[in-house]
Structure 1
Amino acid sequence: MSDLKKNNSHSFMGNVAIVLIAQLMVKILGFVYRIVITNVEGFGDLGNAYYTAGFQIYTVLLAISSVGIPNAMAKMVSERIALKDYRGAHRIFKTAFLLFAGIGIVCSGLLYLCAGFYTNSVISMPGAIYSIKALSPSIFFVCISSVVRGYFQGMNDMNATSRSQMLEQVFKCALTVILVMLVAGQKPEVMAAWANGASSIATLLSFAYLAAFYMRRQKGIKEEIRKTAVESLSYGTGKLMKSILMLSIPISLASIITSLNRVIDTATIIRGIEAAFANGIPAHFDASGTWVDTILSPTAEQLSLEAERLMGMLSKSDTLINMPLSLNFAFATVLVPTIAGALIVGNKKEASSKAAYSFLISIILILPCAIGYIVLAKPIYNVVYFNASQGADLLAWTAVSLVFSALSQTMSGTLQGIGKIYVPAIGLLVGCAVKLVLNLTLIRIPGINIYGAVISTIACQIVAFLISFTVMIKYISFKITVVKYIIKPLIAGGVMGAAAVGVHRLVTLAAGTGFMGNLAATLVAIAAAAVVYLALVAALRILNRDEIEMLPGGAGIYRLLCKIGLYKA
């Protein structure tokens, strides 16, 4: 039996499964409420533009203040736990909580006070001010919640993170829909502000759950602390705060730069589209499906509305793209404490095997999602955004970047675990520079316009992937064979894509081209594609026995595959 099945491997994949299920539920709920509010009368593409614009600067400040906390905490706490220093682990938690509570208050206040300047001077969308102010309180609650989540992640307990995230999303989904429905028919910027206000309330409720979770576990934590004879962590409070910041800031940098990429889009798309269409806005269907003739010599207001409409279309594709990325996020989350804990006790073999396995599973998980989006983009849009279905081709283009984004995400967990915490940020920073240049160049070209933002995103993610991959293979000793990691998954994905298109066309012929016919055809095509893909993954033997048995329920899966003759017992 290989090292993949040793050293609590099942615990590793069990934790991945916990986070993956939580992320799946979170994204499904998020997807549901975005569909609902997008189709509410008066929201549409403009509402999406204001809603998204509010989130852009919010995510930057959130990345600065809190994104690095869970992984930094998980790494530091897991190292203490590996050394049986529970007292030191808890001291890290208490110090981090005080530190980031202060940072959260400052960032929340900064977001609220600077909302007007940002919307008027940076992104030229004055109506987004309400969305930004409504989001500002949530930064504080996310900061302190992240500390609690990171503490339990470091102890390899993913329940605090998964349950609190699911609870937060349930409240966010319900409150967003209720509040937007209550103000339906008002201006899109007002509806978007109420939608974002729901996020602040949901983060408060999530923290309340985490506080209760910690209190329930406090007795057991104190017992472990009493078992610690001597605390091996000899830092003073000031030095410990510095150590936490020195670790969390580099980890946050990757998320900060990712968020800045979105701000670059927001700032450059508006101005780029206005320049591209200065002489005339091409004929198009508006959000309601009404045909709009070419507008010659458009006014500044018409140009601004067209730019906001196109940016809203792009944000719809981002919502769909983020769903599979959230599933893949599970590997990055669990890899950090797993690899850090293995390395601090000198187990390099376990660290390498977990990194290689996660890389392969990410490919198998994300590739069919990307291909599915490419071949079924229009049917999916017609189902999901039935009242605002323009822009499906943007999803098909953006899906190309999905695989590179996901693999970079997985590698960031590995690189952070081995201490190369700056590498993901450096890769994204270089990619961000490429994106900025391409945005400024391509969006202004009338024949490219909004597609320039998609092309620049693909280039950005490829650059970031190549930089992280080059460094990772230098420090993690695992071999990537072209046949296993690239050719076989591409064959499975390609056949799956062809099957999806064929099934969709056949069902459409029988069920018709109306909404219900397209819904039936799309659901059947996705189900058929999933069956075809899984069958080909098994038939091509992309995973060996040990890799299959690493999966939750893997032993049973392997026995079934042996019974049907695809593997040997």
Structure 2
Amino acid sequence: MIQRSFLHGTLVLMLSGVVTRILGFVYRIYLSRLIGAEGMGLFQMVWPLASLALTFITAGLPIAISKLVAEAYVQRDRARIERVMRISTWVIVTMSVVVVVLMWVLRGFVLRHWFTDPRAYLTYQVMIPIVMVIAISSIYRGYFQGLQDMAPTAWASILETIARIGVVYGLAGSFIRYGIAAAAAAAMAGTVIGEIVGLGYLILQQRRRGRLSDLLPDAPTRSLETLRQTLHAIAELAIPVTVSRLIWSFLWAIEPILVTRALLHAGASGPEATEMYGQYGSMAVPLLVFPTVFTASLAANLVPSVSEAMAEDEVQRVRIRFAQSWRATALVGMPVSVIFTLFAHPLCWAIYRDEGVAPILQVMAPAGFLIYLQGPVTAILQGLNHATVAMVISILGGVLRLSLIWELASQPHLEVLGVAWATTIANVVTLVLYCAALYRYIGLPVNVADTAKVAIASLVMLVVCDLLTPDTGHLGAGRMLAAIVGGGMVYFALCCAFRVVTSRTMQRIPKIGGALAALVRWMPFGI
């Protein structure tokens, strides 16, 4: 039986995301210590090309699948779901074959004209199969998300991460003797095998718990809409998402070139530029976006949830979803920004053994809450059928980011910190534009008082952590962890005292809600 609770689906994805992020950090820590920032830079140079290829292939269809399946499921239109899946599968499989062949045929062109470091070529060759695997997986992920059955997607992500870590542990350690380029390629091979494992699990789960004949056994045999209407509904969401992602993926794909050339212009050598880009793209950014494990879960659930609400003409439910997303993001994002800003140096040293990562993280961390909020806001716009608006804003943000990267990173006194500043400024401007657009459609039902209370609790947490660790520059991992736990307890107690977190809210969380509610009632002033 499918769980259709918004909160349940978000919690399932969040918990699986926490597990995969933790496992992913174990993987990154091992890999970064094995091949260093320079090797991570080679890996990072290749990945934007995979993202660009995937955008061509999927054409925004996973989001369209999620949205349309959610609408059709609530209307018990089984024939429409089957039609959406047939069309999407045909498009994605056909495009996968075409793009993979082109990537192989044009590999020489990529080597000569794309990579600033030719050592990334081997990793690129190994990466090519992953494009088709991820594209086919996206069909199943969109389908299950549309049904709001998040468990298969969650378990697939966990199994995929475990398989990747196992393969990388076995391969990268063996291939490092042949050089950094070979070790980076081995790491990419682990990613390919992990994706194959995840796809296999999704296929099995679709056969076991996702058959429409079992989910909608008494549904009419004819759809409520024509084939032309279905095609229009798919294109209405898929085309703007595709255009947005194509342009964004292209901007992301040229980012390594732009960043490294800007750093060379600032006076860095080729290996230094590759190393600094590795510190930024493969170390600081993954650490910064760790909390998106929660907001990404919200975003994945918001598209079908908002689509379902609009299909039933319940705009107020959409406003409630936005208010919930804002408060939840603030509760997670603000204290995390405090931790990343205050403990950047000991944290980055404990994880990466690289002192150059901390200054980059400190520049971006204070704006963490605004960065984390982008995913849920974008998902709501897409669920409201305003994907074109989200597309335009995303493109503007991407262009602004690259423009600022060249302007700031080429300054000798900034170098890679200029990249961090460019990313931060562009993300803040992009969120402001997203919120302005959303205000036109549903307003901004934000509880300003609760947001202010969370901000105050976070500032108090900052003071407590600072008092507990007066010298963060030479802080051991144990003392840092103790300070974070102490500050976190103060933060949680204040949120309970301010009535931002209540036992009634916690009680709604499936499975563990009762225990969390009892904890809140036990806290001073908790209710």
Call closer, same or farther: CA 1:204–1:564 in 2, change over 3 Å: closer
Query: Does structure 1 residue 561 correspond to structure 2 residue 527?
Result: no
Identity %: 22
Q: Residue deviations 1:217-262, cap 9 Å, x none?
A: 36x52144541124334433x8745643442232344544554443
Contact 1:175–1:198 (CA<8 Å) still a contact in 2?
A: yes
Cα deviation, residue 183, structure 1: 0.9
Opposite residue 35 of structure 1, the aligned amino acid is I
Call closer, same or farther: CA 1:306–1:548 in 2, change over 3 Å: same
Q: TM-score, structure 2 length as denominator?
A: 0.93
Corresponding residue of 1:451: 417
Call closer, same or farther: CA 1:420–1:537 in 2, change over 3 Å: same
Contact 1:273–1:450 (CA<8 Å) still a contact in 2?
A: yes
Contact 1:99–1:241 (CA<8 Å) still a contact in 2?
A: no
Query: Aligned residues, how many?
Result: 524
Cα deviation, residue 65, structure 1: 2.4
Query: Does structure 1 residue 348 correspond to structure 2 residue 340?
Result: no
Provide the secondary structure at the position in 2 that maps to 1:448: coil
Call closer, same or farther: CA 1:258–1:534 in 2, change over 3 Å: farther
Cα deviation, residue 480, structure 1: 2.1
Opposite residue 27 of structure 1, the aligned amino acid is R
Corresponding residue of 1:299: none
Corresponding residue of 2:457: 492
Cα deviation, residue 458, structure 1: 1.0
Query: Does structure 1 residue 321 correspond to structure 2 residue 278?
Result: no
Query: Does structure 1 residue 93 correspond to structure 2 residue 81?
Result: no
Corresponding residue of 1:523: 481
Query: Does structure 1 residue 276 correspond to structure 2 residue 266?
Result: yes
Corresponding residue of 2:24: 30
Contact 1:377–1:396 (CA<8 Å) still a contact in 2?
A: yes
Corresponding residue of 2:271: 305
Aligned match for 2:391, one of 400, 425, 443: 425
Opposite residue 137 of structure 2, the aligned amino acid is S
Query: Does structure 1 residue 80 correspond to structure 2 residue 72?
Result: yes
Corresponding residue of 1:465: 431
Corresponding residue of 2:95: 103
Cα deviation, residue 270, structure 1: 1.2
Corresponding residue of 1:227: 218
Call closer, same or farther: CA 1:363–1:26 in 2, change over 3 Å: same
Q: Distance in 2 between matches of 1:138 and 1:338?
A: 30
- Aligned 1:327-366 pairs, distance under 5 A: 327-366=294-333
Call closer, same or farther: CA 1:116–1:98 in 2, change over 3 Å: same
Call closer, same or farther: CA 1:402–1:113 in 2, change over 3 Å: farther
Aligned match for 1:158, one of 150, 173, 177: 150
Q: Distance in 2 between matches of 1:401 and 1:111?
A: 37
Q: Distance in 2 between matches of 1:223 and 1:479?
A: 39
Q: CA RMSD in A?
A: 2.5
Opposite residue 518 of structure 1, the aligned amino acid is G
Provide the secondary structure at the position in 2 that maps to 1:157: coil
Corresponding residue of 2:63: 71
Cα deviation, residue 177, structure 1: 2.0
Contact 2:175–2:183 (CA<8 Å) still a contact in 1?
A: yes
Q: Distance in 1 between matches of 2:193 and 2:445?
A: 47
Aligned match for 1:114, one of 106, 115, 138: 106
Q: Distance in 2 between matches of 1:253 and 1:30?
A: 30
Q: Which runs of 5+ in 1 are unaligned?
A: 1-7, 282-302
Corresponding residue of 1:393: 359
Which range moved further: 405-414 or 544-553?
Answer: 544-553
Call closer, same or farther: CA 1:62–1:501 in 2, change over 3 Å: farther
Provide the secondary structure at the position in 2 that maps to 1:479: coil
Call closer, same or farther: CA 1:559–1:385 in 2, change over 3 Å: closer
Corresponding residue of 1:3: none
Cα deviation, residue 13, structure 1: 0.7
Q: Distance in 2 between matches of 1:474 and 1:9?
A: 32
Contact 1:183–1:191 (CA<8 Å) still a contact in 2?
A: yes
Q: Distance in 1 between matches of 2:147 and 2:255?
A: 38
Cα deviation, residue 209, structure 1: 1.1
Provide the secondary structure at the position in 2 that maps to 1:184: helix
Contact 2:435–2:444 (CA<8 Å) still a contact in 1?
A: no
Aligned match for 1:374, one of 341, 344, 347: 341
Q: Distance in 2 between matches of 1:355 and 1:267?
A: 37
